[in-house]
């Protein structure tokens, strides 16, 4: 190489080195600028911690005189805000309107982050960013349907293009009616985006269950599970972000060997999907049914929420209990049909979910089940009759499903829905005189709350028959003989709230011969009776609505199964409810006393009872102004002869003594107390979890002519394995 070329090459290398040095320096400077930007503190526009809005201006009444201290009167619980106050336009309810506008500020960061909740009504319940007189960004809460949550969640706008420009924020509430309000808090400028991003995780199914971590106070997220191009699950879940309070599960055994994609929108950087694991066993299998507050002789689901009993029927030695069920959380939502079977109404075995939604939002609401003994539907596949159920598909109408394997799996009728209307909760029964099936279903035609009756020869094609106003949700319809009156019977039409009418039913129309009556009071709702029982008993199970278990991975319970009867009384024919006779099989240790007055009760004979699970029976003579009190775990159960009232804690029912005597039967489980007065003339359900160690039991009487003639206490065994 010539010297000239060598010198040229040297100069070129030096130039390259110089450029590299400059480039490295530029990269370091750029990286340093990023680091510096990421280290800049957020600029708080408003945290709404003051009693007034300060320089913000309001119009209308929706935003009140200043930031709210959380939940306002008539509002569901508001959560997810920071500090002690927030913007809440529920002042005056959803009928109020107004605006809240910030003073001008300069945009100095690339992102504007905020907490937001409430209604999802663009332009009506929204927060808007105003730049140069125009709304350049807008955000709403997540809710536009009944239900939902008042929790605030993070939102974020990319505003880098407006850096250096003046702006204002306008919070708008111009919506009246459902979710006609907005909640806002903690508005900040930041170098980091605070919000949600779509995340995805893939896994090959190698075990029966997916274990999903739940955090009670986490926001509700939609989780989608996809196999290939098919969505196999889509549901709402409070997926754990900070901690896992408990695990729920999904049975994916039918997908073994397939690759699943699990998708959700989650906070930036969230690791929630990584916490989902595979296992062959249920979560916490060794402690299942042994949790601290688990009821021991009332049905509760393994995990998640339950409400209305559905599809109650008896077939080949099994009582089938289906029920409204959220398998993915402690609160209401994701309505499926859970399923359990029992040989004796007490010892239940939970089976896999019976009915799942066909798609997200098309939930499986309440319904009923029957045995199609003569295969009138043609659904039967062999000699055995099919089981047939009707349920409300919230996206379609009243639907029919059938089973040929003793209720273990269910097939949709190809021509569903069979009835389309504004309503829900179909109750099936066979009307022997007309040889037709009947569907009694809650109906909201012409803005009225009613029960409509439809009939069918084959459970497939249905004909509207009639309607009766004045009932709400979850109807039941059945015939009962009148005890002691040979040949007499009445039809009972029953609503979700426990109110019933007696009357006649000819397969087309219900004709009442009584006003609305009531047996059940308190924490009790949406009861249903079993179809096809072999001994002709009319057995009822209700939902113990409000019987909650805040510290447990399950929520709500079923009430104790009761046998219904009609009996003559001084007021006319009335329905009675008594716990099923099978309850006696749980008796273990027995205590009994006779003829107890004030002196005997003063020696506290009940102190020897230490059991947690109890059946208490008392028969007392109660004078006209007398009172009988049983203190059960700190809860007073009182019969007051003067007011003719039986009470259990906060609930009460009217009850008249029978020839000066009153009989009580009280059932005590870990989450409830149920009281039956005068052989089930009235019944009260109360949800209560006593303080730990609070198993005390005592009795007292008021009035010189009041005396307990018989007091029996049976300690009970658990029904769980």
Distance of alpha carbon 388 from alpha carbon 368, whole angstroms: 9
Contact assessment for residue 274 and residue 201, using Cβ atoms and an 8 Å cutoff: yes
Residue 308: active-site member: yes
DSSP letter for each residue of 119-130: B-BTTTEEEEEE
Distance of alpha carbon 354 from alpha carbon 407, whole angstroms: 8
* Phi, psi of 562, rounded to the nearest 5 degrees: -130, 150
Contact assessment for residue 500 and residue 558, using Cβ atoms and an 8 Å cutoff: no
Distance of alpha carbon 396 from alpha carbon 571, whole angstroms: 44
3-state secondary structure 166-183: EEEEEEEECCCCCCCCEE
Catalytic: which of 94, 308, 476, 669? 308
What's the token pair of residue 180? 């006609």
* Phi, psi of 95, rounded to the nearest 5 degrees: -85, -15
Exposure string for 259-273, b = 16+ CB within 10 A, e = fewer: ebebbbebbeebebb
Neighbours of 135 (CB within 10 A): 14
Residues 6+ apart with CB under 8 A from 321: 299, 309, 311, 312, 339, 340, 341, 342, 348, 541, 558
Contact assessment for residue 196 and residue 265, using Cβ atoms and an 8 Å cutoff: yes
DSSP letter for each residue of 492-531: EEE-TTSEEEEEEE-SS-EEE-S--EESEEES-EEEEE-B
Looking up tokens 């609160």, which residue turns up?
A: 331
3-state secondary structure 596-610: ECHHHHHCCHHHHCC
The enclosing H or E element of 360 equals none
CA 713 to chain centre: 34
Exposure string for 611-621, b = 16+ CB within 10 A, e = fewer: bebbbbebbbb
DSSP three-state, residue 93: helix
The enclosing H or E element of 438 equals strand 436-443
Whole-Å CA distances, 686 to 296, 472, 595, 617, 689: 16, 22, 29, 17, 10
What's the token pair of residue 502? 């007696």
Contact assessment for residue 184 and residue 86, using Cβ atoms and an 8 Å cutoff: yes
Would you name the residues annotated as active-site residues?
Answer: 308
């Amino acid at each position: 190489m010539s010297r000239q070329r060598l010198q040229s090459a040297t100069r070129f290398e030096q130039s390259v080195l110089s450029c590299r040095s400059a480039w490295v320096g530029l990269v370091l400077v750029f990286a340093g600028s990023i680091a510096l930007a990421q280290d800049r503190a957020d600029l708080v526009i408003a945290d709404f911690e003051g009693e007034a809005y300060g320089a913000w201006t309001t119009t209308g009444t929706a935003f009140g005189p200043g930031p709210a201290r959380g939940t306002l009167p008539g509002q569901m619980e508001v959560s997810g805000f920071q500090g002690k106050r927030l913007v809440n336009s529920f002042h005056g309810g959803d009928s109020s309107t107004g605006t809240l506008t910030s003073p001008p500020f300069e945009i100095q960061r690339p992102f504007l982050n905020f907490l937001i909740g409430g209604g999802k009504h663009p332009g009506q319940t929204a927060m808007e960013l105003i730049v140069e007189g125009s709304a350049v960004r807008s955000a709403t809460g997540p809710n536009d349907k009944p239900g939902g949550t008042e929790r605030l969640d993070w939102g974020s706008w990319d505003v880098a293009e407006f850096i250096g420009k003046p702006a204002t924020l306008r919070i708008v509430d111009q919506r009246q009616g459902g979710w006609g309000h907005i909640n806002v808090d903690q508005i900040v400028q930041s170098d980091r985006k605070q919000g949600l991003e779509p995340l995805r995780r893939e896994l090959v199914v190698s075990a029966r269950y997916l274990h999903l971590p739940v955090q009670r106070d986490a926001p509700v997220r939609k989780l989608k599970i996809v196999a290939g191009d098919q969505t196999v699950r889509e549901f709402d879940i409070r997926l754990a972000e900070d901690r896992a309070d408990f695990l729920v599960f999904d049975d994916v055994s039918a997908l073994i060997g397939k690759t699943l994609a699990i998708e959700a929108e989650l906070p930036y950087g969230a690791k929630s999907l990584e916490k989902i694991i595979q296992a062959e066993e249920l979560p916490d299998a060794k402690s299942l049914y042994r949790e601290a507050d688990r009821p021991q002789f009332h049905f509760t689901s393994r995990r998640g929420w339950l409400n209305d009993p559905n599809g109650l029927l008896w077939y080949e030695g099994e009582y089938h209990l289906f029920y409204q069920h959220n398998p993915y959380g402690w609160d209401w939502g994701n309505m499926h049909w859970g399923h359990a079977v029992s040989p004796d109404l007490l010892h239940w075995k939970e089976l896999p979910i019976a009915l799942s939604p066909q798609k997200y939002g098309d939930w499986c609401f309440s319904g009923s089940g029957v045995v199609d003994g003569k295969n009138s539907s043609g659904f039967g596949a062999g000699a055995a009759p099919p089981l047939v159920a009707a349920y409300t598909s919230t996206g379609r109408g009243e639907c029919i499903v059938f089973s040929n394997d003793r209720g273990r799996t269910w097939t949709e009728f190809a021509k569903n829905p069979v009835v389309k209307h504004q309503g829900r909760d179909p109750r099936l029964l066979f009307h022997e005189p007309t040889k037709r099936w009947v569907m009694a279903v809650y109906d909201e035609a012409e803005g009225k709350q009613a029960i409509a009756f439809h009939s069918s020869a084959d459970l497939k094609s249905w004909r509207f028959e009639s309607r009766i106003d004045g009932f709400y949700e979850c109807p039941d319809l059945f015939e009962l003989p009148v005890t002691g009156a040979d040949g007499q019977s009445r039809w009972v039409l029953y609503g979700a709230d426990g109110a019933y009418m007696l009357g006649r039913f000819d397969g087309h129309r219900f004709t009442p011969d009584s006003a609305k009556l009531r047996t059940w009071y308190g924490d009790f709702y949406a009861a249903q009776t079993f179809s096809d029982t072999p001994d002709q008993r009319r057995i009822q199970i209700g939902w113990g609505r409000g019987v909650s278990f805040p510290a447990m991975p399950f929520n709500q319970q079923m009430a104790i199964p009761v046998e219904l009867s009609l009996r003559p009384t001084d007021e006319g024919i009335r329905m009675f409810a008594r716990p099923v006779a099978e309850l006696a099989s749980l008796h273990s240790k027995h205590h009994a006393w006779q003829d107890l007055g004030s002196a005997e009760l003063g020696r506290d004979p009940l102190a020897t009872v230490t059991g947690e699970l109890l059946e208490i029976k008392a028969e007392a003579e109660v004078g006209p102004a007398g009172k009988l009190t049983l203190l059960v775990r700190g809860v007073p159960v009182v019969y007051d002869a003067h007011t003719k009232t039986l009470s259990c804690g906060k609930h009460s029912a009217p009850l008249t003594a029978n020839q000066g005597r009153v009989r009580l039967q009280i059932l005590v489980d870990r989450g409830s107390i149920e009281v039956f007065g005068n052989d089930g003339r009235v019944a009260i359900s109360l949800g209560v979890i006593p303080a730990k160690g609070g198993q005390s039991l005592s009795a007292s009487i008021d009035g010189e002519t009041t005396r307990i003639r018989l007091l029996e206490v049976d300690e009970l065994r658990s029904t769980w394995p």
